[in-house]
A and B are shown apart, each in its own frame.
Chain A
Amino acid sequence: MSDIPKADELFKSIDYNPPATGWMDTPVDFSPGHWCYPAKPEKMEYMESKLPGLWGPARQWNPGEADWKLPPNWKEIVVKGFRERLKKFRTLQVFMDICVRCGACADKCHFFIGSGDPKNMPVLRAELMRSVYRGEFTVAGKILGKLTGSRVMEEDVLKEWFIYFYQCTQCRRCSLYCPYGIDTAEMTMMARELMHLVGLNINWIMEPVANCNVTGNHLGIQPHAFKDIVDFMVDDIEEVTGKRVKAPLNEKGHEILFITPSGDVFADPGIYTFMGYLMLFDEIGLDYTMSTYASEGGNFGSFTNNEVMKKLNAKMYAEAERLGCKWILGGECGHMWRVVHQYMDTMTGDTQHAGMTTPRSPITGTVFETSAATKMLHITEFTADLMKHNKLKLDPSRNDHLRVTFHDSCNPARGMGLLEEPRYVIKHVCNNYFEMPDGTTREQTFCCAGGSGLNTDEIMEIRLRGGLPRGNALRYVQEKHGVNTMACICAIDRATLIPLADYWAPGVTIAGVHELVANALVMEGESERKMNLRQEYLPGYEDEEDDWTPPNMEDA
């Protein structure tokens, strides 16, 4: 990260005036930092063995070099794949035809706001595909060429796709403002499907995809390691609360299967959110199990192609059937929930076993008709319902040192409409809650700039630029209200918002909603809470640290 400019310098470098050359004549920068690393050949070989014909040649290649080692007939493959997808997706066909280039979307993309690169305007990002559509598939485009913004498929075009469709996080903010609802996320998904056909991919997506398939989670955590990690967390919970909670894994005969993104199991601060789930479930005596086989809620297939999305999703129902669970409770995750909400039942509903029922909270008796088809409930819906029925003993004053704001994750906000439940939950466990400015929250929320598989360090500057709108809104509430914590309901957020906040709003900590819940949760028979889940002493107990010598002071 050493060569990344300081925040002020980066801000000053943003210029919204387009270059003098037309966009088709403006060359693309292929220097390092502008692209993600391609997938390792062994990962692609594995995927080819599982879902053959979707991946192009597995090979070692480098986007910085001129030769991308494409298959000789790459053009036919892409054009044929394009034609097929126009029939398979009305979205693609209609969105190719009806854009009027009014520009309403232009300044809605976080990558454009932070970079000023005109090809990051959603309209132009889509034109990268549309120009080829017109040039290859429409009569007018073939005859009139550039006058209608048409061009034929060439290697430079494909390379441009690779750069810019891996510079879209599929957050759909542009779609909200488009008078026709043109959804660049759909276009990005299609462009990526086409690129996969000729072997253009990135490792940060394909390694998780391969891992999810074989081990169940994107990090490749094997079952015994998964259990070890969970056991560690149970130990830590005991350290903080004096209580040993249950953490059932792969057990049959429970009512509920709980699935969360594996980022919550692995990385700080997701693990605190995971500990929050465990504490909550133990406290209310929930009859549930987790699974090492279906240990990933996040669906990296949705960043790849439909086939993989379906294959990875199918695990959830397969495991519910094997374990005999009646319904599924899902943790805090962004893309997972877009897939669960918009795709799951359509793709894999037929694999649901007959014993599954519409989710019903065993604690409050509430039946969640809104998820009658998928049989899958969002944890903030579940917890909000518990709170509404006063089933939890909470001490929000334990979070009084926190001044909290909430970051709506793009996918639950714009792909689902889940806006109020997380706020309701946070307000029950925190006394100091502040909204970020209008225009940056709820359906207008800004992306963390690391979604859709772009949470990788080699494009850190692009991510930080894309993070400007979110970071700036955060900085605003930090200055105005002293906000020091940003809560979110997405595992990718919990990973990507940390460097973003450090850069644009230093001093703000990122937390999951259920971490805050667990810190406020008064558990039956717990010992006095002196620490939060991060094992930091709560205000008033700091002197507990007195008998501890910082490591660098030992010799002094």
Chain B
Amino acid sequence: MNALYSLLFVFLLVLIPLFGVDAAHMRTFFGVCIPATAFIIFIVGFVYKVITWARSAVPFRIPTTGGQFRSFDPKLFPQNKLDCPQTGAQTFFRMVLEVFAFRSLFRNTAVSLHQGKDHPIVAYKSSKWLWLFAIVFHYSFFIIALRHLRLFLEPVPFFVNGLEFVDGLLQIGAPTMYLTDVGLVAGILLLMGRRLINPRINYISYVSDFFPLFLILSIALSGIYMRYYAKVDVIAIKELAMGLVTFNYVVPETIGVSFFIHVFLVSCLMAYFPFSKLMHFPGVFLSPTRNMPNDTRAKHHVNPWNDPNIKAHPYADYEKQFGVPMAEAGLPLDNPENGKAPEEKA
């Protein structure tokens, strides 16, 4: 049901520019106003959210560790420097692997129950599917986003040309098919399929989980349609894009409606981003269980709201309460008076 709602939403979103541009001729509105507004919402919302996070205190260092910590004898008990980092540099590398290689997902396992001969068996096996789908999806998306820089930069930076070359290396078809286009669509379909087919994952999926997948899929498909089928006027599109970044707006007449659909969907994604789970992108950098070294026994850290008024139950009170039996048991007392029974004191 949630998937269906999402599909319907995205379908409605496609209709808006379709009618807006074709029937209502609002080319400047969809070519300039919407993308500019969406971009502002994206930047302001993104920054606002990250600042909200940053303003929350990190009172304690609570890294989740995976592997041996730095021991008193690093030779006898070698430290797992990546999963149990003790220094800033080690923590940095842990984060790099987390962000660029999705390391935690790589160790994913799947559990299954079996009836053994005379007793039950709980089995675990490595399950890297989610890791694979996620890697294919994210890297494709990332490279495609970088490739788009050629529309916004003049001259086109060398690395963007390099990326395009490598991405189109197989030289299938004309215009040359990009591997990442295939990767992105495949990645989304696999992630979506997982959400639909796996009953447990389906159970925890909301509209807000399917919607971004359908939205990105529609962006990818509209982009592919533009490039391979509609063969839109790229020179004109670059003119519009350069106009946007130089605040010198032009909307050339030669741009087809498929472009406006693509841009409108991207705008929706940008505007939706800061209010959604897509914020896991900046969030992964701020996760306190991952981005701190495991050095709390070795180094002092400060909790900004530590309450100095909270003190231990005073020993003096303890001795007053239990002094008599303590004295009888032969336990030493700070104040011998506490060891006297009330009648002795009197």
Assess whether A224 is in contact with B331, with CB atoms less than 8 Å apart: yes
Bitwise interface map of B from 181 to 205 toward A, beta carbon under 8 Å scored 1, else 0: 0000000000000000011111111
Residues of A100-150 at the interface with B, using a CB-CB cut-off of 8 Å, are: 100-104, 106-108, 113, 118, 121, 123-124, 127, 138-140, 144, 146-149
Assess whether A107 is in contact with B110, with CB atoms less than 8 Å apart: yes
Name the residue of chain B whose CB is nearest to the CB of A378: B297
Docked pose: A18 CA to B43 CA in angstroms: 39
Docked pose: A469 CA to B302 CA in angstroms: 38
Residues in B neighbouring A222, C-beta threshold 8 A? 322, 325
Task: Select A420's contact among B53, B68, B290, beta carbons within 8 Å.
Answer: B68
Assess whether B207 is in contact with A179, with CB atoms less than 8 Å apart: no
**Any chain B CB within 8 A of the CB of A30?**
no
Assess whether B277 is in contact with A180, with CB atoms less than 8 Å apart: no
Assess whether B326 is in contact with A103, with CB atoms less than 8 Å apart: no
Assess whether A443 is in contact with B65, with CB atoms less than 8 Å apart: yes
A304 to chain B, nearest CB (A): 13
Assess whether A349 is in contact with B318, with CB atoms less than 8 Å apart: no
Assess whether B303 is in contact with A347, with CB atoms less than 8 Å apart: yes
Residues in B neighbouring A93, C-beta threshold 8 A? 52-53, 56
A338 to chain B, nearest CB (A): 9
- At the interface with chain B, which of A152-160, A190-198, A271-279, A367-375? A367-375
Residues in A neighbouring B62, C-beta threshold 8 A? 91, 183, 186, 342, 415
Residues of B42-98 at the interface with A, using a CB-CB cut-off of 8 Å, are: 49, 52-62, 64-73, 76-77, 79-80, 83-84, 98
A243 to chain B, nearest CB (A): 21
**Any chain A CB within 8 A of the CB of B105?**
yes
Mostly helix, strand, loop or mixed at chain A's interface?
A: helix
Assess whether B283 is in contact with A97, with CB atoms less than 8 Å apart: yes
- At the interface with chain A, which of B29-37, B139-147, B261-269, B305-313? B305-313
Task: Select A385's contact among B52, B54, B72, B311, beta carbons within 8 Å.
Answer: B72
Docked pose: A431 CA to B316 CA in angstroms: 49
Assess whether A118 is in contact with B203, with CB atoms less than 8 Å apart: yes
Residues of B322-338 at the interface with A, using a CB-CB cut-off of 8 Å, are: 322, 325-326, 328-332, 334
Residues in B neighbouring A99, C-beta threshold 8 A? 277, 280
Assess whether B303 is in contact with A7, with CB atoms less than 8 Å apart: no
Name the residue of chain B whose CB is nearest to the CB of A472: B122
**Any chain B CB within 8 A of the CB of A392?**
no
Name the residue of chain B whose CB is nearest to the CB of A306: B59
Docked pose: A177 CA to B276 CA in angstroms: 22
Q: Given the interface contacts A97-B279, A314-B310, A350-B308, does A419 sit within 8 Å of B67 by beta carbon?
A: yes
> Which of A144, A172, A322, A420 has the largest count of B CB atoms less than 10 A from its CB?
A420
10 A-B pairs in the complex with CB atoms less than 8 angstroms apart: A87-B55, A92-B56, A94-B283, A101-B204, A104-B104, A180-B280, A249-B331, A252-B332, A292-B331, A373-B298
Interface set of A (CB-CB < 8 Å, partner B): 7-8, 11-12, 14, 16-18, 22-23, 50-51, 86-95, 97-104, 106-108, 113, 118, 121, 123-124, 127, 138-140, 144, 146-149, 172, 175-183, 186, 213-216, 222-224, 227-228, 249-252, 292-293, 306-307, 310-312, 314-315, 318-319, 322, 340-347, 349-351, 366, 368-374, 376, 381, 384-385, 388, 413-421, 424, 437, 439-440, 442-443, 468-469, 472-473, 475-476
| Known interface pairs A17-B200, A179-B98, A468-B120; 4 further A-B residue pairs with C-beta atoms within 8 A, sorted by A's residue number | A51-B310, A176-B104, A315-B313, A349-B300
